[in-house]
Chains A and B, each alone.
Chain A
Amino acid sequence: MTRIDDYRQVAPPGVVDIILKLAERVRGRRFLHVSGGRFGGGAAEILRAVVPILCDMGIDTHWEITGGDPGFYTTTRALQAALEGAERVLADEALAHYVEMNRVNAKKLSFEADLVVVHDVQPATLVAQRSDGRWVWRCHFDCSRAQRRAWSFFRQFVAQYEAAVFSLPEFGRRLGVPQYIIYPSIDPLSEKNRELTPREVATILASLRLSQDKPLLVQIGPFTRAQDPLGVVNAYRLVKKHYDVRLVLAGTAGDERESLEVLAELREAAHHDPDIVVLELPPDAHLQINALQRGATIVLQKSLREGFGLGAAEAMWKGKPVVGGFGGGLAQQIISDVTGYTVHSVEGAAFRLRHLLNNPELIARMGTAGREHVRRTFLVTRNITDYLALLIHLSG
């Protein structure tokens, strides 16, 4: 188990001491997180890092999860998609079942805590069965473009919380409760982000049948149109006229039609060019992603639209410049001209890639700046500091 002192070697100087002082102030208070599951990315990935550290510091912290039947999961997936702006049909009966399942969940859980943080959609209606203590809804996605009907239904529950927490101010909606802003974070000691030796990187890349004989341009992310992998291929083609580089597109394919279509189009492109490598990875390929980002010369994150998305922060932590789009939290992560570039088009991406390849000293300088930016802004230590500040602020 990682301990708070392990982070002294990676966090900015003095931050661990601040965390320990904050922890002293909240000792004796109980902190409860509730989420829809313990596995996967997003909220669960952050909680897997945050909760053990809070416990290690002697803060009475618990993490509960909610469950349900297949109908419950179908409805919560559809509701979350609708809150993210997608068109979904939500039947009144299905929504009533969702609320009812959480009423059943509430009976099995203890909410005795000074601060209860409920993450995302699945457990959100638990607030209807709330007890004492302060309740906060932590939203990890962008609900600014939520479907009107879905939001009208969901808002009645959010309004019962003392506060909401969003990853960015633009991700929120008009609410009658205070909205706090906490960026998500990466765990620098996790499998996905821990240090790897060049030899380990080479071994892992070899296991993926990937040679490091030429500069690697790497984009990691789901094979969806929102991540614009085909735009990345077009940018690579413009670069390839001048530089002998290899493009690696790695990610997890879902079973949705869009994902399968995008993957097929990418495979078609790769079929005609051996320097386009499409890697379909399992969801738990953390070490492989780590090695791919470390083996990259430049990392791309050319998303057109996404949640906060921490891919850029992960790459910058590994000392890589990032050429990214403007979607989600990319503009917060990439400081243009300092840690990489934000671009609006395929041509813009190609131009910046060529500029970097033509100025290798810039790659090193931006990589170093990116790592420092992530150290101060996107490490889990900052996330813990924010949660402790929230606990102190709300529970007095």
Chain B
Amino acid sequence: MRTAKHPFGFIGCVELRQALDKHALDERELMDRLEEVPPGSVFYHTHGYFLRHRPLTTAYGNDFARWAAVEVRDQALAERLAVVDPFGFPDLELLREELVTIIHDHLRRLNTVPRAELGGAFHFQQSHIVQVELGPLATTLAEFRDGLAAVDASAIYFHMVEARTRLGRPSGDFAEWLRTSLELPALADRIERIDTYMTSLERVRARVLSLVDQALEEEAA
């Protein structure tokens, strides 16, 4: 069995949420505030959605779409925002631009600006991620598999989402380690292609495990 040049350490995370003093009562205000908030807030309301809404409520894809659907009851805007895959953008500014453009285009076709019901304002937030090193280090694919099966789901989020978008590791930590330390490029490519959008962290874990199991079987054969 191959042994990694560098061991893999699983890192879980805890999200400390911070309210920003930015609120929107209607869709125009949502668009205006969305242009002003720090990139961390765009990340929180899009990618962070998958850390918070597990496993029951990933129905809207991001907080903006959820707000449009639930608080404003504007299903058209909700659908257009929900389909934006945050993982499909190389940086947060491009994601922000896409979201603002969708809202702008939507408002252009309306005579009145849809407004949230009483008390249903959108409150912009951002988060601070506290990293937590978990479990023993993995030096083989089998050890990696065992670790992955046992770690808290926040580790899946950290290595597959946070690492890619905020920490400048576009392949994600799992694929990067498998490629560079275990020299398993084919498996790394398959894991890198996993669609993390509109699913739960547990499903992402199950998909990675299934690919790793397949690789272990091939190695044994």
Is B123 a contact of A169 with CB atoms below 8 Å?
Answer: yes
| Interface bin, chain A | 35 or more
A51 to B133, CA, bound (A): 24
Residue on A nearest B70 in the bound complex, by CB: A336
Is A178 a contact of B121 with CB atoms below 8 Å?
Answer: no
A347 to B196, CA, bound (A): 41
Is B19 a contact of A181 with CB atoms below 8 Å?
Answer: yes
Chain B window 25-59, contacts with chain A (Cβ cutoff 8 Å), 1 for yes, 0 for no:
00000000000000000000000000000111100
Interface secondary structure of B, over-half rule: strand
A172 to B23, CA, bound (A): 12
Is B17 a contact of A180 with CB atoms below 8 Å?
Answer: yes
Is B17 a contact of A22 with CB atoms below 8 Å?
Answer: no
A17 to B15, CA, bound (A): 16
Report the stretch among B80-88, B124-132, B136-144, B180-188 that lies at the interface: B124-132
Is A392 a contact of B125 with CB atoms below 8 Å?
Answer: no
Shortest CB distance B129–A (Å)? 9
Partner of A18, one of B12, B18, B19, B54: B12
Is B14 a contact of A14 with CB atoms below 8 Å?
Answer: no
A300 to B18, CA, bound (A): 31
Q: A22-B14, A169-B19, A180-B19 are in contact. Are A17 and B152 (CB under 8 A)?
A: yes
A154 to B125, CA, bound (A): 24
> For the complex, is A205 an interface residue (Cβ under 8 Å from B)?
no
Is A369 a contact of B14 with CB atoms below 8 Å?
Answer: no
Partner of B119, one of A17, A326, A336, A369: A326
> For the complex, is B4 an interface residue (Cβ under 8 Å from A)?
no
Is B16 a contact of A14 with CB atoms below 8 Å?
Answer: no
> For the complex, is B211 an interface residue (Cβ under 8 Å from A)?
no
Residue on A nearest B57 in the bound complex, by CB: A335
Is A386 a contact of B14 with CB atoms below 8 Å?
Answer: yes
Is A22 a contact of B152 with CB atoms below 8 Å?
Answer: no
Is B125 a contact of A169 with CB atoms below 8 Å?
Answer: yes
Chain A window 158-192, contacts with chain B (Cβ cutoff 8 Å), 1 for yes, 0 for no:
00000000100110101100111110000000000
Report B-chain residues with C-beta under 8 Å of the C-beta of A179. Answer: 18-19, 21
Is B123 a contact of A372 with CB atoms below 8 Å?
Answer: no
Is A390 a contact of B16 with CB atoms below 8 Å?
Answer: yes
> For the complex, is B171 an interface residue (Cβ under 8 Å from A)?
no
> For the complex, is A70 an interface residue (Cβ under 8 Å from B)?
no
**Contacts A/B (CB < 8 Å), 29 sampled:** A14-B134, A14-B152, A14-B153, A17-B152, A18-B12, A18-B134, A18-B154, A21-B12, A21-B132, A21-B133, A22-B132, A25-B132, A169-B19, A169-B123, A172-B19, A175-B21, A179-B21, A180-B18, A181-B18, A335-B56, A336-B70, A338-B56, A338-B57, A372-B55, A372-B56, A376-B54, A386-B16, A392-B130, A393-B16
Chain A: residues with CB nearer than 8 A to chain B?
12-15, 17-18, 21-22, 25, 166, 169-170, 172, 174-175, 178-182, 326, 335-336, 338-339, 369, 372-373, 376, 385-386, 388-390, 392-393
